[in-house]
């Protein structure tokens, strides 16, 4: 009886096909995969192509190496080597100009005061070249949908008395009309639409529009001093340094240090060195930082500055660029109170 059972068991095992299980590592199958059952003879080509049981898996294809993307080119701005126009002003021949407007007409004096709010004066329209530039600034605003009475703009040319004489007309920047071929109407090349007279007493001047319905000579027009207009042109020196100042300084407390992040100045030229200054508490600290990228990061570690930062003290963090002429540019500053006791507190 035992012999018969053994024979039956061996026969059952003989007709059962083995399924490779592979190696088990941490609960996952590796080294082989279950294949569908194959009945009958296996073609040689298929057998050759089948992976051997327990064979190591094929190596994964190498990941392509990626190179960091270069920073996009910066849009050109004012030169990092000099001063520029303030925001809203446009430069021409080393002077800066801006058109101002009012929803209600203003007289000459009120227009001058409005220019002074931008540290400017009414523009000196003293040459054909300057006049052409000022007209290009005015063209987008002196449109035909504006009442033709107000379709002109004050410039800084005025006269207090005896205004029929060119020597009594003076520009707001102090230069005189007399002897100026563009302004002095005793010259054949003068550009007045109408020659000033002494009938109105104190007088001022304006630029006329160049709309098709008026067809002026597009130059200067005299008016009484109390005349009102909606537009004027302001002028100031190219003395702004805002384009040299770093931008967007952020100061963030970390677990054991302080991180500073800022953007380079919005100027065209090389800026790769900054001076960092820390003020507050009982000590001060400064250091040079090298960074030529669009965005810069600096970590201030208390251990590197002789514990210059301690908790519960307000500090002023300042970043200034070193310009190409080795001069220090304008700084951007942030005041922040350090709260974390982990910053500088572990040593006290």
Residue 18 pLDDT exceeds 90: no
Last residue in a domain, options 237, 259, 277 = 237
Last residue in a domain, options 203, 237, 271 = 237
On whether residue 51 sits in a domain, the answer given is no
Which of 188, 166, 163 lies closest to 177, judged by CA?
A: 166
Same domain for 156 and 292, yes or no, is no
Residue 11 pLDDT exceeds 60: no
Same domain for 102 and 184, yes or no, is yes
Element (H, E) at 206: strand 203-208
Report DSSP letters for 6-56, one per residue: HHHHHHHHHHSPP----EEETTEEES--------SPPPHHHHHHSPPTTPP
Q: Are 293 and 264 in contact (CB under 8 A)?
A: yes
> The domain that contains 255 carries what CATH number?
2.60.40.10
List Cβ neighbours of 221 (8 Å cut-off, separation of 6 or more): 152, 192, 193, 194, 205, 206, 207, 208
On whether residue 40 sits in a domain, the answer given is no
Same domain for 257 and 120, yes or no, is no
Q: What is the pLDDT of residues 238-266, one digit of tens each?
A: 988 889 999 999 999 988 899 999 999 99
Question: What is the Cα–Cα distance from 210 to 231, expressed in whole angstroms?
Answer: 14
The number of distinct structural domains making up the chain is 2
Same domain for 227 and 251, yes or no, is no
Minimum mean pLDDT range among 18-22, 93-97, 179-183: 18-22
- Top pLDDT among 46 and 121 is at 121
pLDDT averaged over every residue in the chain = 79
- Top pLDDT among 101 and 347 is at 101
Last residue in a domain, options 213, 237, 261 = 237
Q: Are 236 and 110 in contact (CB under 8 A)?
A: no
Residue 315 pLDDT exceeds 60: yes
Minimum mean pLDDT range among 20-29, 48-57, 307-316, 319-328: 20-29
List Cβ neighbours of 265 (8 Å cut-off, separation of 6 or more): 80, 243, 244, 245, 246, 247, 271, 321, 329
Whole-model pTM: value is: 0.61
**Mean pLDDT, rounded, for 46-67:** 53
Same domain for 197 and 256, yes or no, is no
Q: 181: which DSSP letter?
A: T
On whether residue 55 sits in a domain, the answer given is no
Given this model, what pLDDT does residue 343 score? 66
Same domain for 143 and 166, yes or no, is yes
Same domain for 115 and 134, yes or no, is yes
Residue numbers of the domain that contains 293: 243-347
């Amino acid at each position: 009886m035992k012999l018969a059972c053994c024979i039956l068991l061996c026969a059952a095992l003989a007709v059962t096909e083995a399924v490779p299980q592979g190696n088990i590592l941490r609960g996952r199958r590796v080294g082989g995969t279950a294949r569908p059952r194959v009945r009958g003879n296996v073609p040689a080509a298929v057998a050759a192509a089948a992976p051997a049981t327990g064979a190591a898996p094929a190596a994964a294809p190498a990941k392509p190496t990626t190179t960091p993307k270069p920073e996009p080119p910066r849009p050109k701005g004012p030169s990092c080597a000099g001063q520029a126009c303030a925001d809203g002003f446009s430069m021409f021949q080393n002077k800066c100009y801006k058109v101002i407007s009012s929803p209600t007409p203003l007289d000459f004096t009120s227009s001058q005061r409005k220019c002074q709010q931008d540290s400017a004066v009414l523009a000196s329209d003293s040459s054909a070249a300057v006049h052409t530039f000022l007209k290009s600034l005015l063209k987008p605003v002196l449109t035909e949908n504006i009442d033709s009475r107000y379709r002109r703009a004050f410039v800084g040319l005025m006269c207090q008395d005896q205004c029929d004489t060119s020597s009594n007309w003076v520009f707001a920047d102090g230069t005189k009309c007399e002897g100026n071929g563009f302004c002095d109407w005793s010259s054949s090349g003068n550009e007045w639409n109408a020659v000033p007279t002494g009938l109105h007493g104190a007088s001022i001047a304006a630029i006329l529009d160049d709309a098709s319905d008026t067809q002026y000579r597009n130059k200067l027009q005299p008016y009484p001093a109390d005349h009102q207009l909606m537009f004027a042109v302001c002028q100031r020196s190219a003395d702004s340094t805002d384009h040299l100042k770093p931008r967007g300084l952020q100061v963030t407390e970390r677990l054991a240090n302080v991180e500073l992040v800022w953007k380079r100045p919005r100027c065209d030229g090389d800026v790769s060195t900054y001076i960092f200054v820390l003020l507050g508490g009982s000590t001060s600290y400064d250091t040079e930082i090298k960074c030529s990228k669009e965005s810069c990061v600096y970590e201030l570690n208390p251990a590197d500055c002789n514990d210059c930062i301690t908790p519960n003290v307000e500090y002023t963090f300042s970043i200034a660029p070193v310009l190409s002429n080795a001069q220090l540019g304008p700084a951007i500053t942030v005041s922040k109170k350090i709260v974390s006791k982990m910053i500088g507190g572990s040593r006290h």
